[in-house]
Amino acid sequence: MRSEVSFTAAGVRCAGYLYLPADPGPAPCVVLCHGFSGTMDRLFDYAERFAAAGFAALVFDYRGFGESDGEPRQLPDIDGQLVDVGAAVAFARGHERVDPDRVLLWGNSLGGAHAITVAAGDPRIAAVVAQIPFNGFPKKVEGRSTGDTLRLLGAIIWDTIRGKLGLRPYYIPMVGNPGELAVTATPEADRHIETLTGGQTSTLWRNSVAPRGLLTMMRYRPAGPAARLTCPLLVCVAAEDRETPLETTRELAERAPRGELRSYPGTHFTFYTDPRFRDRVVADQIDFYRRASARV
C-alpha cells in the first residue's frame, strides 16, 4: 500500500508518500531522507523493499524541492532540511499504523548526515542507517582544476550575496561535463544525470541548484552528532567513492558509541544504478533494522 501524504514543517508543506506493510498491526517505520539536490522518487525502490520486509516507509521532499512547497526553489537549506526531517519523524509517530517507539532513520549522502544529526537530538529514534553519508568535503576533488574551483567559489559567493539582497538565486547545474560550471563536473555527467532522473524525461529531479547551500555545507560535520548517538548506527560506504570518500565517512561509524561500518565494492553511484548491488545492501540494512527494533 502506498498513499500520498503531507505534513507541515515550520509552516512549510512537505509532500511525501507513506508505504505500509501487509501486516495490519503497528509497524516500525523507516523515514528516508534524500541527498543534496535529490528528490524522493529516487527512493521509491528502497521504500518498496522496506515495506515488503514488514516496515512502514515514509519518503518525502525537502522544502523547495520536488513536490514540496517552499521558496526559493532548488536551495539546499541545511537548517530547514533538518526541521523537515524532524517533522517527518513526528508525522510518522502520529500515524495509526506506526509504532511510535520504533521509528528508524535512513539517509543517503547529505541525507545520511541529516539522519545522524536529527537522531543525536532525539533519543526515541530506534536506529539510523547512513548510506554513502556526507561528512565534509574531500580536500581535493579529482578532475577539478584550480580554475574550476575558483569559478565555483565565485558562483557560491555571488549567489550568497543575491540571497542577502532578496534576489532570485544564481542557479548552476548540479552535474556538468569537465570544464563546465557545476557542483559536480565529471566525464560521466550523462550517466550521472540518467541515474538521478531514473532515465525518465519526466522526473521530480532538476539539474539546477542554488550554490549558496554549499557554503553552509563547508561547516557541516555530522561526526560531532554521531558521537552523541544513543541508538545503533550503520554506515554503508562504497570503497571507490570519490564524492563521499571512505576516509571521511568511516569517522561516523568510529565515533558513534554503537556504530557499524559496511564497505561495498563500487562508487557513489553504484548504490543507485545496480539493482543486484542494492539487493545486497538493503538486505544488510533490513537485518540491521530488525536487530535494532527488536531491542526497543
Measured distance CA(29)–CA(103) in Å, rounded:
5
* Chain segment 216-265, per-residue pLDDT in tens: 999 999 999 999 999 999 999 998 888 888 989 999 999 999 999 999 99
pLDDT of residue 99: 97
Helix (H, G, I), strand (E, B) or coil at 273: helix
CATH architecture of the domain formed by 2-138+220-294: 3-Layer(aba) Sandwich (3.40)
What's CA 125's distance to the chain center, in Å?
A: 17
pLDDT at 201 over 90: no
Among the ranges given (53-62, 101-110, 233-242, 272-281), the one the predictor scored with the smallest mean pLDDT: 272-281
Instruction: Please state the length of the chain.
Output: 296
- Check whether 267 has a pLDDT greater than 60: yes
Tell me the three state secondary structure of residue 146. helix
The grid coordinates listed for 72 are 526559493
Give the helix, strand, coil percentages of the chain, each rounded to 5. Answer: 40, 20, 40
Query: Residue 143 pLDDT > 80, yes or no?
Result: no
CA distance 41 to 34: 9
CA–CA distance, 117 with 228 (Å, rounded to integer): 9
pLDDT in tens, 59-92: 999 999 999 999 999 999 999 999 999 999 999 9
Average pLDDT over residues 23-37: 94
Contact status, residue 122 vs residue 134, Cβ threshold 8 Å = no
Q: How confident is the model at residue 55 (pLDDT cuts 50, 70, 90)?
A: very high
Q: What is the pTM of this model?
A: 0.94
Secondary structure of residue 4 in the 3-state scheme: strand
Q: What is the pLDDT of residue 200?
A: 65
Distance of CA 1 to the CA centre of its chain: 23
